[in-house]
A and B are shown apart, each in its own frame.
Chain A
């Protein structure tokens, strides 16, 4: 039972000063085994903060990240699942499902985690699952100011992944849960 945190698009310090305190109180070290970060942190301090939560940190480069050494894409295997990470500003049109599916096929992963749109999305389609954890700080995006802070926690257990979505709506943390099961051929959502 592996807990994987998917988080990104914080845009600290340019567009937001810090994570919302309610989120910060939930993110304590010791519970999470991996962190997947879509990018746009942007500064080293945020990177260090994530490192304190969990030493296993995977991060890809967003367009405003100050550390240029992050890769553009990354893949990793957790349990039975192959995960892929990409920030998403490279994928045109931004947030378009078909284009993202192309990236997924390119990376050959079951779960693709992208960001950049600052909107939470979780699609199941064709060969896999695409998850967009949104912006953890609620920073404004390239096309809208109306952004709710959100992030995603995946619980990978064998062939099943449970996706918990944490959103800060009107100052309250709302949690939602989505189940994905991976079959031999394709993951199915229900």
Chain B
């Protein structure tokens, strides 16, 4: 501030203020946040301050709702039907009132726990009221963010610095009372009457009065002899300066307004790159390449910088499975508010706010899309650098522990007594590094970190990823799944081939079904659907049960008699009989499935389960909803993973299996029957597979056959048989190991150990999922009844009814089994 310039200017001109505002943190921050213009005259500062305050006052008047006060002066005729307190109309003032009350309740919940150690300021009703109003208004203004925990912690220090500055002002006032004159008549002191000599005297903007030394003994010194800082304070606080009282830059009356402006600027980033509000948003940003929420992206940026700076620590943390967002979420959302004491925090924020927030220009060589948004500005880079510096500060304790929990404990309970200067000093070069480094493409970073995150956190749910396995599956690299997919599709092709051999009508229905399944449509005619439902039910029951193959054989023979067909495959026999009874579908389907199973077995065991589950989930999909299908893929992929180990070993033995079933259904020869039913069976299949390895597979197929068998039996009125078979199924559960697998045993043992670990946990899940599916099936069945009633087929409705009865009993069995599993 130059006195000379001031002297020469006219009285009404305003002096330029000292740039630094060394002691006035709130003013500095307001300038850094972009609310106040930097390096301009006092008048400008005052004007801008006044404008922002007016805006806030207007906002408050508009948004804070008092339903008693009529809006726009329309007191006479509000539409009472809409505007009464019980009105459900969302537009009514009462409705808004109640919504605001809800929001306030949420805000209050957090505010009551804010800074209890500084409770003398923060827990006073005045301060709490201000905080509440500010947060409420901001949230009403930005409904897309709503109120999130942590916003109050961003706001609190802002309010605090304003408060501190106001206190500073009152100190200065006391010290230099005579400068704060409400001098409105422009008269010099000598000319004033005694009564005009107030205790608080303030100089006007022009310095002329002070320069001309007045003889008033009360004045200790002239304004220009004071520190520039004090001068600034005086000028900023002049009641008669630009904009009058509203323009007093440090004012207690307008603390709320100023705090709101600062908070708004901080959250929105003030046209800069780093907007704190983004960190509270769960949805990915529009320009985000990774499809992750911004705070996750920022955490990844943090880890990326760490990996550049200290790769050993980075890899150590990644190995332990410490995801950056576990601690970085809190660090970023509250800008380290919880990690430092209030005074330290103010220093840190000083640094952060000083850093420029404008988005940097990226050189054309560096692909803009692939860099982290955080590194797009100095401020973002500094925030990241601070975080990395903090991690490095506790480096030794992090490296010392082999436990993710301890690491997180160390990071989340950041030491309170720290050398802040050193921390910040370390952050500075890191910031430069962050800004300068050529950052590798975002995609690989996110893939890498994402895969790791999958393995680390089974519960962490990134909605962008379509399939999220819940089990240790996640350790499998991505290429594994591609391979499985390819194998699956090969199997599908094979299956299609097998279909050609079957009877035309059956084939048509079958391929219809397959197409339906593959295209995930629900366009089946109702009779077909009814049948599918039934079959699905049956097959699920059967599939989940471990079958006694000899009994299976016996049953098959029975059914063969009934059927009277002499197909190459006995199983085909039942099918044809079934077809007679219920239509063409079942037998051909089942027979084809059997064949398909075999082929699939060649490809991969998983394919089998997936195919069947997908096929038969389709009929149920209308009943059970689409999530079943997703579960399908999940479970089948799970199954595929579990059996992956087996597949390699068993692959050579697989071809042996295929020729066997065609001739006759010997227990050992038949490969695993793929489950028709929905997910639960699929999972169960895989789980069972693990336990009994290939021996189990044979039984699946037979169980499948039994499904049809029992279906037929019921159709013919042989409900007892079904019950019997069901009983047998449950009995044979435990008897499995004795059966078959003779040819497989060699390779089984080795795999058993490998796979067993996964099995137990999954079995419980299976049991639960089975229960769910049972419920689904039952509900579907009830829908079925309605559907079936409208079916025009003559004998079908009767049969279908019987089939449903059987299915219900089957479901009960399924329930029993699921209980068994859950116990295991």
- Which residues does A use to contact B, with CB under 8 Å? 1, 3, 25-28, 30-31, 153, 155, 157, 162, 164, 166, 173-177
Q: Does B98 lie within 8 Å of A164, measured CB to CB?
A: no
B84's partner among A1, A30, A153 (CB-CB below 8 A) is: A153
Mask of B40-84 contacts with A, CB within 8 angstroms, 1/0: 000000000000000000000000000110000000000011001
A31's partner among B68, B80, B81, B98 (CB-CB below 8 A) is: B98
Across the two chains, which residue of chain B brings its CB closest to A158?
Answer: B68
- Give CA–CA (A28, B88) in the complex, Å: 9
Q: Does A27 lie within 8 Å of B80, measured CB to CB?
A: no
Selected A-B contacts with CB under 8 Å, 14 pairs: A26-B86, A26-B88, A31-B86, A153-B86, A155-B85, A157-B68, A164-B80, A164-B84, A164-B85, A166-B84, A166-B86, A174-B81, A175-B81, A177-B84
- A31-B88 contact in complex given A175-B80, A177-B80, C-beta closer than 8 Å: no
Q: Does B85 lie within 8 Å of A25, measured CB to CB?
A: no
- The 7 closest A-B CB pairs, nearest first, are A175-B80, A26-B86, A175-B84, A164-B84, A175-B81, A3-B85, A177-B80
The minimal Cβ–Cβ distance linking A148 to chain B, given in whole angstroms, is 15
Mask of B342-353 contacts with A, CB within 8 angstroms, 1/0: 000000000000
Question: A26-B86, A153-B85 are known contacts; what are 5 more A-B pairs with Cβ within 8 Å?
Answer: A1-B68, A3-B85, A31-B98, A157-B68, A164-B86
Across the two chains, which residue of chain A brings its CB closest to B78?
Answer: A177
- List B contacts of A27 (CB < 8 A): 86
B798 within 8 A of A: no
B787 within 8 A of A: no
The minimal Cβ–Cβ distance linking B517 to chain A, given in whole angstroms, is 43
- Give CA–CA (A30, B98) in the complex, Å: 9
- Give CA–CA (A155, B88) in the complex, Å: 17
- List A contacts of B85 (CB < 8 A): 3, 31, 153, 155, 164
Across the two chains, which residue of chain A brings its CB closest to B87?
Answer: A26
**Residue among B67, B68, B85 with the most chain A CB within 10 A?**
B85
- A176-B80 contact in complex given A31-B98, A157-B68, C-beta closer than 8 Å: yes
The minimal Cβ–Cβ distance linking B286 to chain A, given in whole angstroms, is 36
- List B contacts of A31 (CB < 8 A): 85-86, 98
- List B contacts of A177 (CB < 8 A): 80, 84
Across the two chains, which residue of chain B brings its CB closest to A155?
Answer: B85
- Give CA–CA (A1, B80) in the complex, Å: 18
Mask of B677-693 contacts with A, CB within 8 angstroms, 1/0: 00000000000000000
Across the two chains, which residue of chain B brings its CB closest to A23?
Answer: B86
- Give CA–CA (A41, B242) in the complex, Å: 68
- Give CA–CA (A175, B87) in the complex, Å: 10
The minimal Cβ–Cβ distance linking A54 to chain B, given in whole angstroms, is 12
Across the two chains, which residue of chain B brings its CB closest to A27?
Answer: B86
- Give CA–CA (A155, B80) in the complex, Å: 14
- Give CA–CA (A17, B84) in the complex, Å: 26
**Residue among A28, A31, A173 with the most chain B CB within 10 A?**
A31
- List A contacts of B84 (CB < 8 A): 153, 164, 166, 175, 177
- Give CA–CA (A25, B87) in the complex, Å: 9
The minimal Cβ–Cβ distance linking B541 to chain A, given in whole angstroms, is 42
Interface positions, chain B 79-112, Cβ under 8 Å from A, are 80-81, 84-88, 98
The minimal Cβ–Cβ distance linking B244 to chain A, given in whole angstroms, is 35
- Which residues does B use to contact A, with CB under 8 Å? 67-68, 80-81, 84-88, 98
The minimal Cβ–Cβ distance linking A120 to chain B, given in whole angstroms, is 15
- List A contacts of B87 (CB < 8 A): 26
- List A contacts of B80 (CB < 8 A): 164, 175-177
- List B contacts of A175 (CB < 8 A): 80-81, 84
- List A contacts of B81 (CB < 8 A): 173-175
The minimal Cβ–Cβ distance linking A156 to chain B, given in whole angstroms, is 12
- Give CA–CA (A27, B98) in the complex, Å: 14
The minimal Cβ–Cβ distance linking A190 to chain B, given in whole angstroms, is 13
- List B contacts of A166 (CB < 8 A): 84, 86
The minimal Cβ–Cβ distance linking A72 to chain B, given in whole angstroms, is 29
A25's partner among B67, B68, B88, B98 (CB-CB below 8 A) is: B88
- Give CA–CA (A177, B84) in the complex, Å: 9
- Give CA–CA (A186, B81) in the complex, Å: 30
- Give CA–CA (A177, B94) in the complex, Å: 14
The minimal Cβ–Cβ distance linking B77 to chain A, given in whole angstroms, is 11
The minimal Cβ–Cβ distance linking B322 to chain A, given in whole angstroms, is 42
- Give CA–CA (A125, B80) in the complex, Å: 25
- Give CA–CA (A16, B98) in the complex, Å: 32
**Residue among B81, B86, B87, B98 with the most chain A CB within 10 A?**
B86
- List B contacts of A155 (CB < 8 A): 85
- Give CA–CA (A1, B81) in the complex, Å: 20
- Give CA–CA (A70, B747) in the complex, Å: 79
- Give CA–CA (A162, B68) in the complex, Å: 10
- List A contacts of B88 (CB < 8 A): 25-26, 28
The minimal Cβ–Cβ distance linking A174 to chain B, given in whole angstroms, is 7
The minimal Cβ–Cβ distance linking A185 to chain B, given in whole angstroms, is 24
- Give CA–CA (A177, B68) in the complex, Å: 12
- Give CA–CA (A144, B81) in the complex, Å: 27
Across the two chains, which residue of chain B brings its CB closest to A160?
Answer: B68
- Give CA–CA (A153, B87) in the complex, Å: 12
- List B contacts of A30 (CB < 8 A): 98
- List B contacts of A157 (CB < 8 A): 68
- List B contacts of A26 (CB < 8 A): 86-88
**Residue among B67, B81, B84 with the most chain A CB within 10 A?**
B84
- Give CA–CA (A117, B80) in the complex, Å: 26
Across the two chains, which residue of chain A brings its CB closest to B86?
Answer: A26
The minimal Cβ–Cβ distance linking A129 to chain B, given in whole angstroms, is 19
The minimal Cβ–Cβ distance linking A67 to chain B, given in whole angstroms, is 26
Across the two chains, which residue of chain B brings its CB closest to A25?
Answer: B88
Across the two chains, which residue of chain B brings its CB closest to A176?
Answer: B80
- List B contacts of A174 (CB < 8 A): 81
- Give CA–CA (A28, B80) in the complex, Å: 18
Across the two chains, which residue of chain A brings its CB closest to B82?
Answer: A175
The minimal Cβ–Cβ distance linking B289 to chain A, given in whole angstroms, is 43
- Give CA–CA (A31, B98) in the complex, Å: 8
The minimal Cβ–Cβ distance linking B515 to chain A, given in whole angstroms, is 46
The minimal Cβ–Cβ distance linking B185 to chain A, given in whole angstroms, is 45
- Give CA–CA (A28, B84) in the complex, Å: 14
- Give CA–CA (A173, B86) in the complex, Å: 12
The minimal Cβ–Cβ distance linking B323 to chain A, given in whole angstroms, is 38
- Give CA–CA (A13, B550) in the complex, Å: 64
- List A contacts of B98 (CB < 8 A): 30-31
- Give CA–CA (A166, B80) in the complex, Å: 10
- Give CA–CA (A173, B68) in the complex, Å: 22
The minimal Cβ–Cβ distance linking B422 to chain A, given in whole angstroms, is 53
The minimal Cβ–Cβ distance linking A21 to chain B, given in whole angstroms, is 12
- Give CA–CA (A31, B67) in the complex, Å: 14
- List B contacts of A25 (CB < 8 A): 88
- Give CA–CA (A83, B529) in the complex, Å: 65
- Give CA–CA (A177, B86) in the complex, Å: 13
**Residue among A30, A155, A175 with the most chain B CB within 10 A?**
A175
Across the two chains, which residue of chain A brings its CB closest to B97?
Answer: A1
- Give CA–CA (A176, B77) in the complex, Å: 11
- List A contacts of B86 (CB < 8 A): 26-28, 31, 153, 164, 166
- List A contacts of B68 (CB < 8 A): 1, 157, 162
The minimal Cβ–Cβ distance linking B248 to chain A, given in whole angstroms, is 35
- Give CA–CA (A155, B68) in the complex, Å: 10
- Give CA–CA (A176, B84) in the complex, Å: 9
- List B contacts of A1 (CB < 8 A): 67-68
- Give CA–CA (A31, B84) in the complex, Å: 12
- Give CA–CA (A56, B804) in the complex, Å: 51
- Give CA–CA (A155, B85) in the complex, Å: 9
The minimal Cβ–Cβ distance linking B96 to chain A, given in whole angstroms, is 13
The minimal Cβ–Cβ distance linking A93 to chain B, given in whole angstroms, is 33
- List B contacts of A162 (CB < 8 A): 68
Across the two chains, which residue of chain A brings its CB closest to B68?
Answer: A157
The minimal Cβ–Cβ distance linking B76 to chain A, given in whole angstroms, is 11
- List B contacts of A176 (CB < 8 A): 80
Across the two chains, which residue of chain B brings its CB closest to A22?
Answer: B88
- Give CA–CA (A145, B713) in the complex, Å: 64
- Give CA–CA (A175, B81) in the complex, Å: 5
